Amino acid sequence: MIKNVLFDLDGTLADTAPDLANALNAVRLWRKLPKIPIDVIRPTISLGANVMIKLGFNLEVGEPGFDEIKEKFLDFYSANIAIETKLFEGMDDVLKKIENEQKTWGVVTNKSSYLTIPLLKALSLDKRAACIVCGDTVKHNKPHPAPVIHACKLMQANPASTIFIGDAKRDIESGSKAGTKTLIALYGYIENDANPDTWGADGMVRSPNEIHTKLEQVGK
């Protein structure tokens, strides 16, 4: 039986794409470049800032100008972190049902704590989450199992009765290696050429409204 639920943040728990896309385009405008449509940016978001910058400026880590652009991008995003960001439709009902059933839920993200905590506070989730594990909480990030293992310890949860829901392959790898069940959030920021069928998850959901049905199926 599933007693604990862990969520990835960007693309699973919250739709952060508008604010992240605005930050990337703000830096492009600073460099006198035209905006990129949000639908083009969206599939890169769960892969992190470095991949977004590669998309926006065709720069790799270590190349001239990369660090300056990344700093500008993160500064703008930090200052405008919850302008358009909101929970995915139906997610608040999912969280309320988890809480009403006296189950615990938490967040496991590769996003740094200086961005994660203010965002969760803006969404009024920081006090509701039983744990918040960020990209700088433990030594290793997803797809390493360490963040999920740490989250289970914080919640005093058995990984076998825990499920991790995410929209990236590294979420599924992290949860599986940690011993939890896993669900793929197909409504999230999945790359255009990705094949979630090959990720080895225990199930998939096309919207937050499907989560509880899947929890019951996976927990049997």
Q: How many domains does the chain have?
A: 2
Tens digit of each residue's pLDDT (9 = 90 or more) over 91-108: 999 999 999 999 999 999
- Domain-terminating residue out of 63, 79, 95: 79
Tens digit of each residue's pLDDT (9 = 90 or more) over 179-220: 999 999 999 999 989 999 999 999 999 999 999 999 988 877
CATH classification at residue 130: 3.40.50.1000
Residues 106 and 151 in one domain: yes
Range of the domain at 209: 4-15+85-218
Q: Which amino acid is at 54?
A: K
Tens digit of each residue's pLDDT (9 = 90 or more) over 118-139: 999 999 999 999 999 999 999 9
Looking at residue 197, what is its pLDDT?
97
Residues 11 and 39 in one domain: no
**What is the C-alpha to C-alpha distance for residues 105 and 99, in angstroms, rounded to an integer?**
8
CB-based contact 214:148 (threshold 8 Å): no
**Token digits of residue 195:** 């094949």
CB-based contact 119:129 (threshold 8 Å): no
Hey, which residues are catalytic here? 8, 10
Chain CA centroid to CA 191, Å: 14
**Token digits of residue 200:** 């080895």
Q: C-alpha angle with apex 102: 173 to 178, nearest 5 degrees?
A: 15
Tens digit of each residue's pLDDT (9 = 90 or more) over 137-190: 999 999 999 999 999 999 999 999 999 999 999 999 999 999 999 999 999 999
- Domain-terminating residue out of 64, 79, 94: 79
